[in-house]
Amino acid sequence: MRYRHFPERQGLYDPQFEHDSCGVGFVCNIKGKRSHEIVEKGILALEHLMHRGATGSDPKTGDGAGVLIQVPHKFLSKECSKIGLRLPPAGEYGAGLVFLPTDNKEREFCEYQFRKITEEEGLVFLGWRDVPVDDSMIGKTARDTEPVIKHVFAGKPASIKDELSFERRLYVARKRIENLVRDSSLKQKKYFYITGLSSRTLSYKGLLMSAQLKDYFLDLRDRDLESAFTLIHARYSTNTFPTWDLSQPFRFLAHNGEINTLRGNINWMKARQGLLKSGAFGDDIKKLFPVIVPGGSDSAMLDNALELLVLNGRSLPHAMMMLIPEAWQDNNQIDEDRKYFYEYHACLMEPWDGPAAVAFTDGRYIGATLDRNGLRPARYVITNDDTVVMASEAGVLEIPAEDILIKGRLQPGKMFLIDTAEGRIIDDRELKGKVSSANPYKKWVKENIERLGDLPE
């Protein structure tokens, strides 16, 4: 496995056992109203999670910090028009923040391949935008490995009618580009990383401290940069080496904790690749391999698995219930449908187990879940102006007591979900009841599972 920026295996050290523990959360307008204020509140909450992040011997280089927001069409359209790049209407193009090599020739190679492959996949390549940054405040370690950062844009062709099909096409193109660069002989390929390519979400992240993010990315100061939510993450890479690409949030999630079953999860995903079939991806499924990208952290690999499940057609809550199931065996406090849902999916996917608090979004839904033991904290506040603040501890934003409707904490194995399209919070019982009753899981389990105890001696 190739590990970006990690030392080689030596003595008792092996990079495959890297893991981390971090600060995570989000600020969201329940009704889906986009504003710059939500972005500002998210960044402020991230700054208040600075103690959750970490620094090394270089006190100005953080382990990583970032935000994930909805694609800010108003802002991007304005900025791209300044460079003669006209963007299609919102939802008709995919945008991504890309880390590129500092060497001019290698960067040109990556940009050429990006255009070539997106066009081969039937997408309309629109162009690049230089992302303005100020690196005067970051540390030497961060600056020594700092990539060139650009936005890339790809338009939706007329042949693709729905949003999910467009997201799949962007995913296939991105995976092809990643695989090509990773397998190339470029000396600076460790600098190349696509933080995301989506018509729904856009990230700003890097090898930064929480308090450096808004000063480093000048875009985040613009009042036209609007979103209905801001998913935040401050990284504390417990035993690992912080890198630009392993800062979070990833494409769908931000994670605080550890995946203790990681080696088994990786091996099972790799073993199943030869059997994977998809009506959604068809023959393109092979272009997605390896599904779990070598060199990622446990959080990155969990994100890889979630991305495949969601883009293949499962809802975001469904996929999270598969990956991080609650304690369902011998649990008399959950209904029968839910038990059969978990039993059915246990045949398809092993749980990604460990002490974990995960915040996640697909651009419409945003939520959080805890592992079955609930060993990582997750506190939330709901205000009377339809704002939700969820974080790995209480008090990340100062909210007057009279403005608070509900305060609470996420329980072990429970899920907290906001549907910004419907403009409401969906209760854990309602959410899981809907997902677990969507198919006849009880019938499938009873008709297809043979139990050793039922066989004759």
pLDDT tens-place string over residues 347-373: 999 999 999 999 999 999 999 999 999
- Which among 408, 364, 298, 407 has a CA at the least distance from the CA of 34? 364
Q: What are the CA-CA distances from residue 256 to residues 66, 192, 284, 299, 376 (Å)?
A: 14, 25, 33, 8, 7
Taking the C-alpha atoms of residue 169 and residue 200, their distance in angstroms, rounded to an integer, is: 13
CA distance 191 to 147: 6
Q: Which residues contact 129 (CB under 8 A, 6 or more apart)?
A: 76, 79, 80, 83, 85, 150, 151, 152, 153
Q: How far is CA 35 from the centre of its chain?
A: 21
Mean pLDDT of 195-215: 96
Burial readout 234-263 (b: 16 or more C-beta within 10 A, e: otherwise): bbbbeebbbbbbbbbbbbbbbbbbbbbebe
Give Cβ neighbours of residue 356 (< 8 Å, ≥ 6 apart): 255, 256, 257, 258, 259, 324, 370, 371, 376
pLDDT at 333: 87
Q: In angstroms, how far apart are the furthest CA atoms of the chain? A: 77
Please state, in angstroms and as integers, the Cα–Cα distance from residue 134 to each residue in 104, 137, 184, 213, following that order. Answer: 20, 7, 30, 10
Residue 277 CB neighbours (<10 A): 7
Average pLDDT score over the chain: 93
Rounded to 10°, the helix 336-346/316-323 angle is 70
Q: What tokens does 18 get?
A: 């890297």
pTM: 0.93
Query: Rounded to an integer, what distance in angstroms lies between the CA atom of residue 357 and that of residue 375?
Result: 8
Q: What is the pLDDT of residue 457?
A: 87
Residue 2 pLDDT level (bands cut at 50, 70, 90): very low
Encode 43-73: b = buried (16+ Cβ within 10 Å), e = exposed. Answer: bbbbbbbbebbbbeeeeebbbbbbbbbbbbb
Phi first, then psi: give them for residue 136, nearest 5 degrees.
-70, -25
Report the alpha-carbon distance of residue 161 to residue 200 in Å, rounded.
15
**How far is Cα 4 from Cα 22, in angstroms, rounded to an integer?**
20
Q: Is the pLDDT of residue 262 over 80?
A: yes
pLDDT score at 295: 82
Write out pLDDT tens, residues 88-97.
999 999 999 9
In the numeric block, which tokens belong to residue 121? Answer: 């996949």
pLDDT at residue 147 tops 90: yes
- Cβ within 8 Å of residue 6, ≥6 positions away: 15, 18, 240, 241, 243, 295
Give the model's pLDDT for residue 238: 53
CB of 130 closer than 8 Å to CB of 226: no
332, pLDDT greater than 90: no
Using the predicted structure, report yes or no on whether residue 1 has a pLDDT greater than 50.
no
In Å, what is the CA distance from 449 to each residue of 259, 341, 454, 455? 28, 13, 11, 12
- Alpha helices by DSSP H, listed for 67-191, are 73-81, 104-120, 140-144, 163-182
Residue 412 burial by Cβ neighbours in a 10 Å radius (0-12, 13-18, 19+): middle
Q: Is residue 126 a contact partner of residue 119, using CB atoms and an 8 Å limit?
A: no
DSSP 198: B
Distance CA 11, CA 8 (A): 10
- Catalytic-labelled residue, pool 22, 28, 80, 110: 22
Task: Answer yes or no: is pLDDT of 310 > 70.
Answer: yes
Cβ burial of 410 (10 Å; 0-12, 13-18, 19+) is buried
Please give the structure tokens belonging to residue 387: 């704002």
Per 3-state DSSP, what percentage of the chain is helix, strand, and coil (rounded to 5)? Answer: 35, 20, 45
Q: What is the pLDDT of residue 240?
A: 54
- Pull the structure tokens for residue 151: 């936005």
The model's confidence at residue 297, banded by pLDDT at 50, 70 and 90, is confident
Least Cα distance to 258 among 230, 299, 291, 229 occurs for: 299
- pLDDT beyond 90 at 17: no
347 among known catalytic residues: no
Q: What is the pLDDT of residue 304?
A: 97
Please name the residues in contact with 136: beta carbons below 8 A apart, sequence gap of 6 or more: none
Closest to 53 measured CA to CA, from 194, 245, 248, 195? 248
Which whole number is the average pLDDT over 198-209? 97
